[in-house]
Amino acid sequence: MGESMLWIDAKVELPNESERVLLYTPYQFFGDDYSCVGNKESIMACTARINRKTVPVFTHWMPLPEKPYY
């Protein structure tokens, strides 16, 4: 197995401009699923109004795993 994948705090570091990554949200926007695939623009542009505050939808991200070998 490769190195373990850890979530990266979007306040600390953002992915490269064109890199597709797995995004995490602590909010229930996607039902029981708290993640989706997106990019740097998704992290920067997506906000929501929670308890009268505008907050980022996505708080963490991680690189996508390598494609499987056949």
The predicted structure's pLDDT at residue 1: 43
pLDDT per residue as tens, the chain (70 positions): 445 679 999 999 999 998 999 999 998 888 888 999 999 999 999 999 988 999 999 999 999 998 898 8
CA–CA distances in Å: residue 16 to residues 43, 61, 67, 68? 12, 12, 19, 22
